[in-house]
Amino acid sequence: MYKVIVFAGTTEGYDLCRYLSRNQIPVLACVATEYGSRSVEENPFLKVQAARLTQEEMEKLFEEIRPEMVLDATHPYAAEVTKNIHTACENAGIVYQRVLREEGDSGDQENAVYVDSPEAAVEYLKNTEGNILLTTGSKELGKFTALPGYQERLYARVLSLPSVMTACASYGLEGKHLIGMQGPFSRELNAAMLRQYDCRYLVTKDSGKAGGFLEKAEAAMECQVQLVIIGRPLQEKGLSLKECRKMLGEHFGILEKPQVTLLGIGMGSRDTLTVQGQRALERADLLIGARRIADSVKLSHHQVLYEYRSDVIADYIHSHPEFAHVVVALSGDVGFYSGARKLLSLLGEDTEVICGISSVVYFMAKIGLSWDDAKIVSAHGRSCNLISLIRCCRKVFAILGTSDGVSQLARKLTDYGMGDVILYVGENLSYKNEKIFAAPAAKLTEYQGDPLSVICAYNENSVSRLETHGIPDEEFIRGKAPMTKEEVRTVSLSKLKLTEDSICYDVGAGTGSVSVEMALRAHQGIVYAIEKKEEAAELLLQNKKKFAADNLEIVHGMAPDALENLPVPTHAFIGGSSGNLREILQVLLEKNEHVRIVINCITLETISEALSAIREFAFEETEVVQLAASRAKEIGRYHLMMGENPIYMITCQK
């Protein structure tokens, strides 16, 4: 038999019926009319009974079925019905629970007039002029016939049932003054009706958020129409829909998992929502997101949790099973530098994911550039060597995230001789205060903008990134400091096996030829060039600027002391040790026992010291290569091969 009887007729009632039957709790839904019965579909655990019951008929029904409880989810204005249900439950000894509809919010209080009853609304309107949109339904329509000239002033919106239309026509309301429609009604539709019929007043009951009250209030405010609100007849106590779902879950041991959707909302404006995303929001009863994001898409019926931390969001969803549909709103697109990845790992594979319009798609369309050939990165809260990317790519799109992000980038570009790079800047994309402009980097070195920004750097003079080592020696600025020659440099770096995000040390960097090549190869990592001589450090700085190696840091000092406070390395090149090779190796291994090291030796004494240290530290991978390179020199009409000093390259790694 039925464990629960739900007196429905409202969206809350239908929701509870579906919730119970979905979890195989037998439920009888009582609605007043056949029209109401069409709002919920029967199934093996749900039966719908359409009939208006007296108190005595209710008592008889309760005695026959003996449900565990009765839920009264009738309309807030059905005061007599609520009284009968409550009394019948008391007489039959059945648990009674009132389910309340959440009250609406009229917004601008100066735009609202509150009255106690339909009769009081008529008395107020007698002293006014102008057309009236009446949205209280057909039941109270007869009371408004007491309004002088009502047939001309009233535009009544009622259900499109034949019986309702006939009843309204009997009051003399026909043609355009009788609007037969089924809700829900959006703010835009309400506003369109107010304008269409040139209304100055909108009469409504406070039907709550689920009853579309907020949409009426917002439309009235938009059209500068006076809102006449008929107050609730009872000050009731009871449970909200969500509280009732939680109570039922605890009572019947329901462990239903809510349907969770990760929604990319686009830039932030509701205009950039996809249709699929809008439907998800309309279906949701809980909305979660950072305040700016959630506020931009929340609807009147949403309960909102302002939160952006993935673990907190997951814990909240798991501990609140009373919500049927949860939407976690994320900025832009869920696959573009989004928190969706971590949330998916916490929430499970059955989480729905709905993509949004990413900032790169939106912004590049706005500035008229394609993005299929652009390098796309984020410098918001993460390490990113934009200078290297802009130097080698014609178009680079980047998310920034600080108010001085544009000026910092512009100053660096200018310092590296790239002040002519065009920076397209986009701020507050899709919002009313959206700002998009373009200027050369040299003109933006002092620019202060909005943290919510993106850029596209357009470099007409970009150079292709070399895929191999081997910058010609003559390309480097040289002085009296020693320099590792091109052939030796190429083989040495090939032995290091760098990746694009390597953390590298160049010990005894000299002019910086190895440091620069390391920085250009590990362009999203960082290179620390350690050099004790002042003259060599100055040459290092000049070569850093020439090659725009922004990820090259110059450390003036002697190893191993100069290494102590540096980040953990993944790779190290030792071109000069000043007799401290063993101590340098010890510091490197203390920082990272798996660091990959290449040592270049010229003297036999250094080779002996290196081999001894390799044995002492028990490296598992060792390789010794001797390289002797010769270059042709023209002497008259002859070419004579001139040998470079032989170099011993020792590669070692644990």
The helix/strand/coil state of 441 is: helix
Residues in the chain: 654
Q: Has residue 211 got a pLDDT over 70?
A: no
Which residue would you say has higher pLDDT here, 106 or 71?
A: 71
Read off the pLDDT band of 335 (50, 70, 90): confident
**Looking at residue 101, what DSSP letter applies?**
P
Residue 209 CA to residue 509 CA, distance in Å, equals 70
Write out the two tokens for 197.
């019929």
d(CA 46, CA 37): 12
334 to each of 360, 471, 553, 560, how far by Cα in Å?
13, 41, 35, 46
At residue 109, the pLDDT reads 43
Give the pLDDT confidence score for residue 209 in this predicted structure.
58
pLDDT, average across residues 538-563: 94
- Cα-Cα-Cα-Cα torsion 553, 554, 555, 558, nearest 10 degrees, comes to 130
- In angstroms, the CA 636 to CA 232 distance is 109
- The mean predicted confidence, pLDDT, of the chain is 89
pLDDT at residue 439 tops 50: yes
| pTM reported for the whole predicted model | 0.63
CA distance to 18, 21, 70, 319, 610, per residue, from 15 (Å): 5, 10, 15, 20, 77
Q: What is the pLDDT of residue 603?
A: 87
Q: How confident is the model at residue 482 (pLDDT cuts 50, 70, 90)?
A: confident
* 248/107: higher pLDDT: 248
pLDDT at 442: 96
Residue 102 has pLDDT above 80, yes or no: no
Q: Which residue has the tokens 């990959």?
A: 596
* Exposure string over 314-340, b if 16+ CB within 10 A, otherwise e: bebbeebbbbbbbbbbbbbbbebbbbb
Measuring CA to CA, which residue among 528, 510, 516, 514 is closest to residue 578? 510
**pLDDT (tens digit per residue) in 587-606:** 999 999 999 999 999 888 88
What is the average pLDDT across 114-140? 90
* pLDDT one-digit tens code per residue, 375-409: 999 888 777 889 999 999 999 999 998 889 999 99
Instruction: Give the residue-averaged pLDDT of 86-110.
Output: 77
Residue 358 pLDDT > 60: yes
pLDDT in tens, 486-498: 999 999 999 999 9
The answer to whether the Cα torsion of 110, 112, 117, 118 is positive or negative is positive
Query: Which comes out higher in pLDDT, residue 56 or 106?
Result: 56
Q: How confident is the model at residue 210 (pLDDT cuts 50, 70, 90)?
A: low
DSSP codes of every residue in 294-335: HHHH--TT-EEEE---HHHHHHHHHT-TT-SEEEEEESB-TT
103 pLDDT exceeds 70? no
Query: Residue 131: pLDDT above 80?
Result: yes
The pLDDT confidence band at residue 338, using thresholds 50, 70 and 90, is: confident
Strands (DSSP E) along 500-644, which ranges? 503-507, 526-531, 552-556, 571-574, 596-601, 621-627, 630-635, 638-643
Instruction: Set out the domains of the chain in order of their start, with CATH numbers.
Output: 4-98 (3.40.50.720), 109-230 (3.40.50.620), 257-352 (3.40.1010.10), 360-458 (3.30.950.10), 473-653 (3.40.50.150)
